[in-house]
Amino acid sequence: MEQRNPTLRSVAWLWFGIAIAVLVVGFRQAIFLTPADAAQGDVGRIFYYHVPSAMWSLVFPYVNFIASLFYLYWRKRDPLKALTADAMAIAAAEVSVVYSSICLITGSIWGRAAWGIWWTWDERLTSELLLFLLYVSYLMLRRFSSTGQAQTLAAVISIFAAIDVPIVWMSIRWWRTQHPAPVFFGGPDAGLDKSMMPAFVWNIIGWGIWGIFILIFRFALERRRQLAEQEAALQAIEASLEIPQ
C-alpha cells in the first residue's frame, strides 16, 4: 500500500496538470483566437463554456446510475463492494450537480443577453432544471435521511434522473422550443462553423478531463471517509469488549 499511494498521487497530479493545460488552451482559443459570432458578437463566446458543461451534465448521471445499480446488486451479496459502488454514486451525483448548475447559470446569463430573458419554461430548460433538482434531492436525502435506507432510496432517484437525461437530450428535437435547435446530430442544417471547432473541441475535452479528475478525487475522499468510519466503529466495538479491571 505504501508503494501504491505515491504512484496514484503522481497519476492524479499528472491528470490535474493535463486538465489545467488543456483548459488554458481552450480558454485562449475561445476568448482570443476564435472570431466573434457574426450574429451575437462576443457574448456568443459563452457557447464554449456552456455547451461542454451541458453535454457533460448528461454523461455523469449515467456514472451515478451504473454505480447505483451495482450498489443495489451488491448491497445484500457483498456489502464491501456495495460501499465502493456507493462512493462512486455519490461522487457522480455531486459532479452532476456541479455541471448541471453551471449549464443552467451560464445558459441563463447567455439567455438574458441573447433573448432578453433570464428564463423561460421551455422543454429543454425545464428538463435540465429537473435533472439538477433530482440530484439536489438525491444529495439532500443522502445528507439528512436517518432511516438507514438512504442509499437505497437515493439509488431509486438516480433511476428517475437516468430517465430524464434522454428527455433533456431529445427535447430540442421533439419540440420546437425557445432554446436553439441542436448543433450536433441535428440534421442536414445543423453543425458548427469550422472556425469555432478548435475552441469547442479543446473545451469539451478539457472539461471532460477535469470532470473525471474531480469525480475520482471525490470518490477517493468518500472511500477515505468510509474507511475512517469503519475503523472508528471497530475501535468502539473493541473498547466496549474490554473487561474493566
Partner 1 sequence: MTWHSFFNLSTMQNRHLLASYATVLIIQGAYVGWIAWNWFRTKNTHH
Q: Which residues pair with 41 in a beta bridge?
A: 37
In one letter, which amino acid is 92? A
The pair phi, psi for residue 37, each rounded to 5°, is -60, 135
DSSP secondary-structure letter at 39? T
Find the binding residues for partner 1 in span 149-168 (CB under 8 A). none
d(C-alpha 210, C-alpha 204), whole Å: 10
Sequence-ordered list of residues with C-beta below 8 angstroms from that of 28, at least 6 positions apart, any chain:
none
User: Exactly one of 11, 36, 117, 181 binds partner 1 (CB under 8 A); which one?
Assistant: 36
Does 32 engage in binding with partner 1 (CB under 8 A)?
Answer: yes
Beta strand extents in 143-226 (DSSP E only) = none
Question: Is residue 102 within 8 Å of 131, Cβ to Cβ?
Answer: no
Residues that bind partner 1 (rule: CB under 8 A) add up to a total of 37
Smallest distance from partner 1 to CB 205, Å? 15
Of 105 and 140, CB closest to partner 1: 105
185 sits in the region (left: phi over 0; alpha: psi -120 to 50; else beta) called left
Of 117 and 190, CB closest to partner 1: 117
Does 50 engage in binding with partner 1 (CB under 8 A)?
Answer: yes
Smallest distance from partner 1 to CB 245, Å? 29
Sequence-ordered list of residues with C-beta below 8 angstroms from that of 231, at least 6 positions apart, any chain:
none
Smallest distance from partner 1 to CB 243, Å? 26
Length of the chain counted residue by residue: 245
Residues 89-128: x where in contact with partner 1 by CB under 8 A, - otherwise, as a string:
-----x---x--xx--xx--xx-xx---------------
Binding site for partner 1 (CB under 8 A): 1, 5, 27, 31-32, 36, 41-43, 45-46, 49-50, 53, 94, 98, 101-102, 105-106, 109-110, 112-113, 210, 213-214, 217-218, 220-221, 224-225, 227-228, 230-231
